[in-house]
Structure 1
Amino acid sequence: MAKIFQVSARAGMTRVVEPVARGLLRSGVSPNAVTVAGTVGVLIGAIGFGARGHLVAGALIVTLFALTDLLDGTMARMRGGATKFGAFLDSSMDRVADGAIFGSVTYWLATQGDSWGVVAAVICLVAGQVVSYVKARAEGLGMTCNVGLAERTERLIAVGVGALLSAVVDWGLTAALWVLAVLSVITVGQRIAHVHRQAQRAEMGVDA
């Protein structure tokens, strides 16, 4: 159900951003420029606001600029498809953005003496990077890896909800991070198991 909702929401957002994408392309703006600009915006929201304790403002800024993932993808599609460098740049900038988000959260919680929150944030940071790496490595070996409870979209939603909750209850962010930490670790296991099954089928000569 969650995946169906995510696909429907993404389709709806695509219809909204298409006019913007066309306008940017007509103005000579490239999808790669939008990718980099979106990452810079996320860095401003995470480091400039989130790391200083302005969690709600940081979450809103990060959410706004994270939507450029959809915008640059739409622009690339309108130009005939993403280039290899464009796909590489997008993935690389995603890792930078994710690191900034969870690194900033970790820093803020450390300044507040929330050791449990720091542990959860570090687990989210590391596990999130591993989730992405496992997928990239699997695809590099010719396998698929689009499985898991906590993909990038879910991770960003979870930390965003935690930031908003922090304005209501002190433990809101820490609680959200621990839920995400557990789901992220499970996702790593799901992806490794998925790739293992494909590798076994390939070794036995069975179509994956």
Structure 2
Amino acid sequence: MLNNYRENVRGYLETIVRPLADLGVTPNTITLLGLIISLFGAYLFYRGEQFWAAVTLLFGSLIDALDGTLARMTGKTSRFGAFLDSTLDRISDGAVLFGIALGGLVDWRAAFLTFMGAYLVSYERCRAELAGSGKLAIGIAERAERLLILIAFALVGYIGYGVYVVGVLTWTTAFQRMWAAYQRLK
């Protein structure tokens, strides 16, 4: 849902990215930096430092929004870049949930089910689009929404509840995508 508003912030993102482009920073470098920041956020969750983990992930979310903008501005979009971004996003998602669970901030089973739902949402989109569904960026909890929910709950010290909320929303989104894929591909 939040991805629908990306055009509204495009000018702001381009203003941030322009100096990076002038320095010769590549989109893939930004993608890798986003992963490193997310891994650090996961580590902070493991340490029980919810507030700082949330701040770190908030900063990482901004970085994550920049790679695509930089690629489009510099004419360096590539299929591999899109693949790398998606792959590292999955690593980031898993690491954050793992850090939360390993830190004892939520029952590992809840983190695992949330992890499965998040991966299923991503997989369904990819698989349905490959099968000819057209763009399947639908559902109430795409990656941006899931991350913002986790950040909001962590900022107030209740990340465990955030994982439960995201878990329910990821599975709801998975069923929404399954239904939409069925309607488009039957």
Q: TM-score, normalised by structure 2?
A: 0.91
Match of 2:144 among 146, 150, 153: 153
RMSD: 1.8
Partner of 1:39: 35
> Which has the larger Rg?
1
Identity of aligned residues (%): 34
Structure 1 alignment gaps of length 5 or more: 167-171, 201-208
Partner of 1:19: 15
Q: Is the 8 A contact 1:14 1:70 kept in 2?
A: no
- Encode CA deviations 1:82-117: one digit per residue, 9 max, x unaligned: 2111111110110011111111111112xx6x5xx4
Between 1 and 2, higher relative CO (CA 8 Å, sep ≥ 6) is seen in: 2
Partner of 1:100: 95
Determine the C-alpha separation between the residues in 2 that align with 1:81 and 1:31.
8
Determine the C-alpha separation between the residues in 2 that align with 1:102 and 1:163.
12
Match of 1:126 among 92, 116, 134: 116
Determine the C-alpha separation between the residues in 1 that align with 2:3 and 2:137.
14
Correspondences of 1:1-208 after superposition (within 5 Å): 3=1, 7-8=4-5, 10-47=6-43, 49-80=44-75, 82-109=77-104, 117-143=107-133, 144-166=135-157, 172-200=158-186
Q: Which amino acid aligns with 1:73?
A: G
Q: Which amino acid aligns with 2:173?
A: T
Aligned residue pairs, count: 185
Determine the C-alpha separation between the residues in 1 that align with 2:172 and 2:4.
22
Q: TM-score, normalised by structure 1?
A: 0.82
